[in-house]
Amino acid sequence: MPQFQFVKPDHVLNRSNRWEPGSNELAVYFNIADLRGVLTRNLHVPAGTQAHVLAGNTVRHLNEGEHNIETFWDRLNHLFQNPHGEILITRRAALPVCFALDDVSSFDRKHLRVQARLKVSVGDVQRFRNHFMLQPGTVTTAEQLGELLAPGVRQTVHEYCRPRKLDELLGDLGATRAALCAALDGSAREHFAELGLDFHGIEALELHHQPSAADLAAQARAELATQKQQALGDAEQDQALRERELLLLGRILEAQTREDALRQGAEDEIEQLAESFRARHRARQQAARQEQWQHENEQSEWQHIREMARIQHQAQLALAHAREQAELELEHQRLDNDLQKLRIQARIEQARLMEDDNLRTQEMQAQREQMQAALARDEALRQAKAELELQACELSKQAREKAAAREHAYDDALNNQRIHDLQREEKEKNQAAELATLDKLVALSREDDQQKEERNARQAAVQQKHELDKLALLGSLPQHVLLTQVHEPEKINALLKMALAGNHMQMSPEQIQASASALPASAPPPLAGGGHAPGADAASAQAVTSAIQASLDAMAKKENSTLATAMQELNASNHASLNAIVTVASAFADAFKGHPPAPGGAAAPAAPEPNRPPMPQPPAPARPSMFVTCPNGSCRTTNLAGNQFCGACGHPLH
């Protein structure tokens, strides 16, 4: 346990036997033997203190207030004979003791700076005497108590903070203060009691996190790594953006038109690139305008400063010139007056030397009058100088007002110019915004037109495919099926000619001759719409045969054009539904089974020749069939009354 030596408290003896405790003093101690011959008045114990008289192992307490020395020393007279008689004066209230601990660490190895203020007081006088009262002096907090109590307080604070994390300590300072007070009350109270002190709790507690050098280095390394990672990510992103931009530029350079680039799938990229280019262009223009405006503002500010300096310089120069002129004139007048007074004084001295009394008196009187006039002029000059000062102040005020008016006018002109510039800038911004909006509208309109064209092209392609499919379907149908779907006589004749030409192109010459010889005996169907059947005589049959034979070559050469013309005529007409095929075929079959023709209709079939036996008629079925199978077995032909030969191969049907 460290022991302390104290200096003799001279201030106790020099204050009328009074001890006035300082802000950091807990107790004072002195020997009674040192006070022999000093105590001549009453002994005063200050308020808030208590005196203790120690003689050997006995302690007598004196409360605060006045104590008569006579009665006091009568009761304690033996103390002067006791060389170990002592007096201790202590505070009644607790004294705060401050501690600052910089080496405290938490569980997560975070360094803390703990500042605590503990309240202690003198408890056991004998123990306090054994530790502190080795030599007369005072017990202070900074020198004795702080250094003596610091090890125990430091150990308790370390034991409390080491198992806890920093967040737990700094989270709730009230709970931390209460817990630390309880820990000090349990552990440090014994140490305080050994020193004769009582512990009254913690008055204030402050915890500050103080990063160590290692923590700062680790934090710096982490920040540096984060910055490097961020810089690397930014560099990679910039590189990717540059590569993407190069790719887009390559696509644009490879495409001859915008439509080509759009067909290559770069629509979004091109739009983004164009928008980026437009934004950069606007930014460059804005930066250029800002730089120009900044330069103009600097120039205008400098011109403003120069103009203000010129105005003030002119005003001050004019004022100084006017004052100098007035002061110079007054100075000339004052010098003239001083010279005049000197001359008058010299003449007075000369007049005093005159022997004639009358002449001397007259001269002295005249010179005195002149001196009075000179003094009056002196006073007038002083008044003129004062008036000049007032005029100078007035002129200075007027000059400042004029300068302020000119500055105000210049500021108004400059503000008007700035307002004009701001209006121009706002107008340019509005124009730029309108142009950007117009560009967007044009781009949207172009996209709408492009989408409309693409939609129309798709619809046209679908319609064309539909027409081609219909033409292919119609081309795959036999001519007699197509014949049943039209009702105009011209189209029926065209289809019959086309069917007849197609059949005869596949027939041999013998079949053609047989067909021609059989034409008079056959009964072809009547034409719809009032047409008449071919003639029954041989001349008509021979003419038909010759016409067919002559047209075979021409029809073979013009087959493609004829078929195309027929297909166009079929596409131009309104076809009936395929569901009406059976009904139309039944109507044709009923018309050619011997029913009389309608009035104004086709002529009756011609009678067979007398030399040729009539062809047997097949039995009439319940519902006639539209098609019959050729005896050749290779094709089907139309089951119409009067047909003698197959329309596909020319083989006789019966």
Same domain, 452 and 511: no
pLDDT higher than 50, residue 602: no
Which pLDDT value is given to residue 282? 80
Domain boundary at 210, 245, 265, which?
210
Residue 608 lies in a domain: no
Domain boundary at 188, 210, 232, which?
210
Strand locations in 135-196 (E): 137-140
Same domain, 461 and 484: no
Mean pLDDT of 379-406: 82
Q: What is the crossing angle of helices 146-161 and 173-194, to 10°?
A: 130
For 258-313, the pLDDT digits (tens) are 777 777 666 766 777 677 777 887 888 888 878 887 887 788 778 877 877 887 78
Split at pLDDT 50, 70, 90, the class of 19 is: low
The three-point CA angle 317-321-324 to 5° equals 135
The residue with tokens 């203190």 is 49
Helix (H) or strand (E) holding 33: none
Higher pLDDT, 74 or 148: 148
For 121-147, the pLDDT digits (tens) are 888 888 887 777 766 666 766 566 777
pLDDT higher than 60, residue 616: no
Highest mean pLDDT out of 9-23, 391-405, 424-438, 569-583 = 424-438
Instruction: Look at residue 523 and give its three-state secondary structure.
Output: coil
Residue 227 lies in a domain: no
The residue with tokens 């071919």 is 534
CATH of residue 111: 3.30.479.30
Same domain, 424 and 311: yes
Burial of 367 (0-12, 13-18, 19+ CB in 10 A): buried
What is the reported pTM? Answer: 0.33
For 527-572, the pLDDT digits (tens) are 434 444 444 444 544 554 565 556 555 655 555 565 566 656 655 5
Q: What is the residue range of 157's domain?
A: 10-210
Domain boundary at 210, 228, 250, which?
210
Same domain, 25 and 134: yes
Mean pLDDT of 74-98: 70
The number of distinct structural domains making up the chain is 3
Same domain, 419 and 388: yes
Residue 255 lies in a domain: no
Same domain, 454 and 515: no
Report CA torsion sign: 194, 197, 203, 206. negative
Residue 271 lies in a domain: no
Mean pLDDT of 347-351: 84
Same domain, 460 and 489: no
Same domain, 465 and 489: no
Residue 120 lies in a domain: yes
Same domain, 421 and 543: no
Which pLDDT value is given to residue 14? 38
For 515-524, the pLDDT digits (tens) are 555 444 444 4
Residue 19 lies in a domain: yes
Same domain, 461 and 498: no
Distance CA 122, CA 135 (A): 18
The three-point CA angle 552-555-558 to 5° equals 155
122, 128 in Cβ contact below 8 A? yes
Which pLDDT value is given to residue 405? 83
Which pLDDT value is given to residue 558? 59
Distance CA 470, CA 490 (A): 22
Which pLDDT value is given to residue 26? 79
Mean pLDDT of 367-383: 85
What amino acid occupies position 21?
A: P
Which pLDDT value is given to residue 647? 57
Higher pLDDT, 460 or 586: 460
Higher pLDDT, 78 or 342: 342
